[in-house]
Amino acid sequence: MKNIINTAKIQLKCFLLLFVIGLFVQSCEKDDLEIQQNYPFKVSVMPVPKDIAKDEYVEIRIKIIPEGNFADTKYYLRYFQFEGAGKLQYYNTQPYFPNDIYPLYEKEFRLYYTSTSEVSQSFTVWLLDSFGNEEKIEFQFNNKKLNG
């Protein structure tokens, strides 16, 4: 009787061991891990003045806020001016050309818009990521008359 109980215990232990090994092998069958790479993002823009005079510039502070973090996400900027004339640039780089795409190296940055006309001005900035997500920001400035 003792031999039968010992044999049953050994068989139960072997069964449990094989069951655990089976679960382990089954969980390792998948070749690729599911890693989320595509995270939508929002854009935060500090307030800017409503009026600008010719040859005056406005600093535009922008922050990209992704809903998750994937280290290889790349961000880009493009803009289009549809009213008035001016130039948009990143810090002290060359001014951007409308509708060209420029890489962004930081998620928090400053753009500088310089008016080159004496009329109201409007332009749109699009921020894109390497996964096709896009955010649009519109800017409008009234012409400020300088006395003098």
Domains of the chain: residue spans and CATH: 41-143 (2.60.40.2410)
pLDDT of residue 67: 83
pTM of the full structure: 0.72
Query: Residue 91: is it exposed, middle or buried by C-beta count within 10 angstroms (0-12/13-18/19+)?
Result: exposed
CA angle 49, 55, 56 (to 5 degrees): 25
Sheet containing 86-90: order of strands: 41-45, 57-66, 108-115, 86-90
Handedness of CA 81, 87, 92, 94 (dihedral sign): positive
Using one digit for the tens of pLDDT, what is the confidence trace for 85-130?
999 999 888 999 999 999 999 999 999 999 999 999 999 999 999 8
pLDDT tens-digit map of 23-47: 676 666 565 655 656 778 999 999 9
